[in-house]
Amino acid sequence: MKSILTLIRPRQWVKNLFLFAPLIFSKHLFEEGFLATEALGFVVFCLLSSTVYVINDIADREADKLHPVKRSRPIASGHISPRRGLGIALVLFSWAAAIGIFLNGPFQIAALLYLVLNVLYSVLLKHVILVDVFVIAAGFMLRVLAGAFVIQVEVSHWLVLCTLFVSLFLAVSKRRGELFLVQQSNETAGREVLREYDVAFIDQMITITASGMAISYALYTVAERTVMIFKTENLIFTTVFVLFGIFRYLYLVKKKKTDDNPTLILLGDSVMMMNIAAWFVSCIVIIYSAELKSLF
Percentage of the chain modeled with pLDDT above 90: 58
Q: Which residues of 117-156 are buried (b: 16+ CB within 10 A; e: fewer)?
A: bbbebbeebbeeeeebbebbbbbbbbbbbbbbbbbeeebb
pLDDT at 50 over 90: yes
For residue 281, what are the contacts with CB-CB under 8 A and spacing of at least 6?
none
User: What is the band of 260 on the pLDDT scale with cuts at 50, 70, 90?
Assistant: low
pLDDT at 270 over 60: yes
User: What is the band of 64 on the pLDDT scale with cuts at 50, 70, 90?
Assistant: confident
Mean pLDDT of the chain: 88
What does the pLDDT look like over 105-132, one tens digit per residue? 999 999 999 999 999 998 888 889 999 9
Per-residue confidence (pLDDT) for residue 264, from 0 to 100: 73
38, 91, 140 from 107: Cα distances, Å: 11, 21, 14
pLDDT at 72 over 70: yes
| Distance between first and last Cα of the chain | 45
Rounded to two decimals, the pTM is 0.89
What does the pLDDT look like over 131-179, one tens digit per residue? 999 999 999 999 999 999 999 998 888 888 999 999 999 889 888 878 8
Per-residue confidence (pLDDT) for residue 66, from 0 to 100: 78
pLDDT at 294 over 70: no
Residue of higher predicted confidence among 66 and 285? 285
What does the pLDDT look like over 181-226, one tens digit per residue? 777 765 555 567 778 888 889 999 999 999 999 999 999 999 998 8
Is 1-155 CATH 1.10.357.140? yes
CA–CA separation, 235 and 238 (whole Å): 6
